[in-house]
Structure 1
Amino acid sequence: MTGLVRTSADLDPRRRRILYRCWHRGIREMDLVLGQFAEENIADLSEEQLDELEIIMDEEDQDLVQMVTGAQAIPEKFQTPLFHTIISYRPDFDLVTAQNGHSSK
């Protein structure tokens, strides 16, 4: 998946904004991780989970990529079921890099 497929017409404004932000991170790898997660789950998240997702989205993309790939330990504040579900949306970063015309080596 390379971008938004789901319609946001049935979502409230907060969920629409979060969905958009998840797909427009600035780093393609995080677009894919957060975007795919949000696309599949945004409608069913509780208000508390939305709060947590917004805190996660406030983190720097480089730090998030490092956590997703295992290059950086996941801080205690993100040792939550929601964060672990999010990082399970782990695309093949080498393939993504190759598709974007960059060498991963």
Structure 2
Amino acid sequence: MQQPDLTTRLARLKFRAWHRGTREADYMVGGFFDRYHADWGEAEIAWFEALVDEEDVDILSWAFGTAPAPQRYHGPLLDAFQRIDYVNI
């Protein structure tokens, strides 16, 4: 099966980022997507696709640093996700 084009992948990710199931996660994950996705290449898109497959409670705990994120998420995107000012998105 062929991979969807970039526009389709980003549209799906935007929807998934903003429809998490909890308003807090919507703002955090969706706000992060809106702020950074324009600069992403294939590696960053694949990272975010994997992240949105995770449970909200896990994503939020990684963002706030109350639980360690799995090694596969470590790097500049996780660093940015943890630094973002979610109050002023």
In the superposition, the TM-score normalised over structure 1's length comes to 0.68
Larger helix fraction of residues: 2
Alignment RMSD, CA only? 1.7
Q: Percent identity?
A: 32
- Indicate the residue corresponding to 1:26 in structure 2: 21
1:64 alignment partner AA: I
CA deviation digits over 1:11-41, x for unaligned, max 9?
8111111111111111222211111111122
CA deviation digits over 1:42-79, x for unaligned, max 9?
22210111001001111111111111222212222221
Instruction: Work out which of the two has the higher radius of gyration on C-alpha atoms and give 1 or 2.
Output: 1
In the superposition, the TM-score normalised over structure 2's length comes to 0.79
- Indicate the residue corresponding to 1:43 in structure 2: 38
Aligned length: 82
Structure 2: segments with no counterpart, 5+ residues: 1-5
Q: 1:89 to 1:31 in 2, by over 3 A?
A: farther
Contact preservation (8 Å) 2:31, 2:86: no
- Indicate the residue corresponding to 2:47 in structure 1: 52
> Aligned partners of 2:22, 2:85: CA distance in 1, in Å?
14
